Structure 1
Amino acid sequence: MPPKRKGKSNLPVPLLEGVILKDNEKKEWRLGPMIAQGGFGLIYLASPRLDIPVKDDAMHVIKVEYLENGPLFSELKFYQRAAKQDHKATGPDNFPFCHNSYRFMVMERLGEDLQTIFERRGRRLNKETVLQIGVRMLDVLEYIHENEYVHGDIKAANLLLGYRNPHEVYLADYGLAYRYCPNGNHKEYQENPKKGHNGTMEFTSLDAHKGVAPSRRGDLEILGYCMLQWICGNLPWEQSLRIPEAVQAAKTKLIDELPDSVTRCAPTGTDCGEIAMLLENVSNLAYHEKPDYEVLKKILLSGLEHKGISYNGMLDFTTDQGTPNKRAANHRKVRNDIEMGCMKCIGFILIKTTKMLITKKKRGD
């Protein structure tokens, strides 16, 4: 189950607008107004301009929590180990640092989350758009996996569009990121019923249902479930979310009956064969096995190529009437949830796809 969050009584005492903070790189930031708060922290607009008040269109935010709280610490450690070392080559800057009795990070401001778009579209996204997002997320996951981490909580609420460019997609919120392979030593496969069913119930992996520590194949399985939901609108087990064992059984049935199980989920006239192939490939991976990301990307790209659509091109979030949705995150009130809305932790910008290879994989624990 998702980790329980601390109540708002544990939130940091709000900081005064205009306060100047210094990060661990000795760069100073002026604090703007608080724009969001959640179970474990506060979000403020921020600017490197110290001489003028922070404007509403500021391109940075500061995320604050008490030192004793956990999620931002995990997120901070992830950035220090996995992202900080070559962030200039792979994405926007991020600055994890501590100040007095608070822990906080400065991060780039992002745009609207995919869950908001998904709901506004009547819980259905265009298949081609889903495939485009899937290929981009495979690039992101390959990067963080190569840096010894798995994300562990991939979902539409944690996928955000760029603040200025709504055709960029970022994987956000690394508070549950897990170091699956510290110093090159992969965690051992070990089932633990006491830790079973951890994560967001709709999407969590079969390994997580068994209490096994997160791994690369788990991240990819979660991505497959997300893509299936975005195309189909719902997953077969969504009516059973209060019964984790029933959800686990339904996921097991879906995997065991591929590709027919995915075909049954698909809307009339929609072929979800690419999603079925991706899930089948992932289900054949051993726990310690490195995925062939190029094969997985090739599977999804096959659904785009025959329509002449580029995976890194414009994303189609048009309404059913064909009128483009406006990027409402720039104008609407930010949700009072630190994990939702337009101020989320920075992820990674797109990494170009390299040439594709096709090999067969065998599952084994």
Structure 2
Amino acid sequence: MAPRRNKLPASLPDGFIVTDTNKKSWRLGKKLGQGGFGLIYLASPDCDVTVPNDAAYVIKVENYENGPLFCELKFYQRAAKQDDVNKWIHRHNLDYIGIPRYWGTGEANYNSSYRFMVVDRLGADLQKLLKDNSGRLPAKTVMQIGIRMLDVLEYIHEHEYVHGDIKAGNILLHTSNTNKVYLADYGLSYRYWPNGKHKEYKEDPRKCHNGTIEFTSRDAHKGVAQSRRGDLEILAYCMLHWLSGKLPWDQSLRDPSTVLASKTKLWDDLPESVTEWSGPEDGCRALAKFMAEVYLLTYSQKPNYAALKRILLKALDSMGTNLSSPLITLDARSFRKLSTGVRKKTHIQKCGNKTEDDCEYTQNSNLLNPCLSPKTIKNYSKKTTRNLSTDDKRNAFDPYRSTCSMQADLYSEVPSIHKPLRALTVSATQDYKAAMDNSPWYTVPNNDLRRRQESLNEPDLYSQDRQNIYKYGFMLPVLLLMIYCLIYVL
């Protein structure tokens, strides 16, 4: 028999009142949205007035026969009792745990039977922040969210459950304190430790590739029941995606077997696979180390959460920030400059009417043409290296070389008789040499640039030609006069 498909419930009218199992009534407000299997409404315990737009609660409604909301209810009732959460926070010296608070559940009838659950209302999800920031987040923010998610996972793992579906869409900000993040949607949560015994490792072809294909664990690809290491593996994929804006298997999502093979290769080639994929971005080395620790876990082994958190905390420290600093949400224009979480103090020059964001910052004291924007340098570098050979492309222009090369190009075309421009050319050359001496990315300039530099130290050929004309132009009449005297006088 074919499996029964979950379906969305019909919309409930505004003002509809439901009563939970504790005999507490809740009034529904406007519909906020929908998940994979249910609808979400604003809610209020004050049933005599219209539910305000800033209501503090939401109600998730699903058809009674649907499974995800039932699984989520069981998780909250068994593992997320508020007293247990409060005790855990106090015992582990935490300021909070990112698990939405559960308020009640019940059944309702409106042309059909429904199950509902009341939880705290939260703010925007992380997927929206990714969309607003060109699919990426600053390394500082990624490390902070990773640590907060480890706090959540440690708690739910110690209470016999795993989440199984960690992703940006299920991580939400607090409505009033955007420095707090919460892991929501426990519809795919799984009780991996029932009756004090871990589930056995057993591959089941009928359950292969469960979860969100981009982030699901290798165990889930094989149909194995979810485990603690699976949650950490999913979190690692998420962090890699937030840092780099992409995953190695993004183009193969319609072929789960290829995705599994790509994930397996990523783990087998650690740490190089992560650093090569993400480049020299801040946080990538820490993520590679994080993944190396997860790679050593067996299926039923308890992770060392403290050690994993220390890896990410150390990365934050290296960026000059810490866990308690504000989360940074940036637009695409400012993302590049704040990807490390803080802007280091550097030598800054004013650029006329330009703002500081339009300038190029550098720690080198010989700041070259600060008004050249990064975009200008990047475009120039692409144009200059377009027709180069493979070997020449290895000497690709870094920020110092791009700036100085542009200055040399601009001034070397000017006739040398114009002394002010000539002085600028020489000054640009001197700045170039100083920058190359102090630059950690220094490579030998290509032949065209070397010849251009050498030509700057040669004599002024135009002026020399003019002197030759004067000299020989004066000598010629004298010579003719001497010949005339020799012929007619003698």
- Place the TM-score, normalised by the shorter chain, in its bin: 0.7 to 0.9
Q: Give CA deviations for 1:307-331 in whole Å, capped at 9, x if unaligned.
A: 33221331011223339xxxxxxxx
Matches within 5 A, 1:220-299: 220-270=232-282, 272-299=284-311
Stretch deviating more after TM superposition (270-279 or 115-124): 270-279
Q: Which runs of 5+ in 2 are unaligned?
A: 87-96, 336-490
State percent identity of aligned pairs. Answer: 58
CA distance in structure 1 between the partners assigned to 2:68 and 2:12 by the alignment: 20
Change over 3 Å in CA distance of 1:285–1:18 after alignment to 2 = same
Q: Which runs of 5+ in 1 are unaligned?
A: 324-365
**Structure richer in strand, relative to its length:** 1
Specify the SS of the correspondent of 1:103: strand
CA distance in structure 2 between the partners assigned to 1:82 and 1:49 by the alignment: 28
Change over 3 Å in CA distance of 1:284–1:309 after alignment to 2 = same
Alignment partner of 1:118 is 2:126: no
Alignment partner of 1:17 is 2:14: yes
Return the offset for 1:125: 0.8
CA distance in structure 2 between the partners assigned to 1:143 and 1:74 by the alignment: 18
**Could you tell me the TM-score, scaled by structure 2's length?**
0.62
CA distance in structure 2 between the partners assigned to 1:102 and 1:261 by the alignment: 47
Alignment partner of 1:187 is 2:184: no
In structure 1, the partner of 2:101 is 93
2:53 pairs with one of 53, 56, 64 = 56
1:197 pairs with one of 209, 223, 242 = 209
**Structure richer in helix, relative to its length:** 2
Question: Which is higher, the Rg of structure 1 or of structure 2?
Answer: 2
CA distance in structure 1 between the partners assigned to 2:271 and 2:252 by the alignment: 22
Return the offset for 1:4: 9.5
Specify the SS of the correspondent of 1:111: coil
Change over 3 Å in CA distance of 1:296–1:38 after alignment to 2 = closer
Return the offset for 1:183: 2.0
Change over 3 Å in CA distance of 1:131–1:30 after alignment to 2 = same
1:174 pairs with one of 165, 177, 186 = 186
CA distance in structure 2 between the partners assigned to 1:261 and 1:58 by the alignment: 46
In structure 2, the partner of 1:337 is none
Change over 3 Å in CA distance of 1:320–1:196 after alignment to 2 = same
Alignment RMSD (CA, Å): 1.9
Is the 1:95–1:106 contact (alpha carbons within 8 Å) kept by the matching residues of 2? yes
Change over 3 Å in CA distance of 1:107–1:271 after alignment to 2 = closer
CA distance in structure 2 between the partners assigned to 1:314 and 1:286 by the alignment: 35
Structure of higher RCO (CA pairs closer than 8 Å, 6+ residues apart) = 1
**Could you tell me the TM-score, scaled by structure 1's length?**
0.82
Change over 3 Å in CA distance of 1:175–1:230 after alignment to 2 = same
Stretch deviating more after TM superposition (20-29 or 247-256): 20-29
CA distance in structure 1 between the partners assigned to 2:283 and 2:228 by the alignment: 26
In structure 1, the partner of 2:31 is 34
Stretch deviating more after TM superposition (291-300 or 15-24): 15-24
Is the 1:23–1:95 contact (alpha carbons within 8 Å) kept by the matching residues of 2? no
In structure 1, the partner of 2:167 is 155
Specify the SS of the correspondent of 1:304: helix
Return the offset for 1:87: 5.6
CA distance in structure 1 between the partners assigned to 2:321 and 2:236 by the alignment: 20
Question: What is the identity, as a one-letter code, of the residue corresponding to 1:320?
Answer: A
In structure 2, the partner of 1:46 is 43
Equivalent pairs counted in the alignment come to 318
Change over 3 Å in CA distance of 1:273–1:13 after alignment to 2 = same
In structure 1, the partner of 2:139 is 127
Change over 3 Å in CA distance of 1:301–1:197 after alignment to 2 = same
CA distance in structure 1 between the partners assigned to 2:100 and 2:225 by the alignment: 30
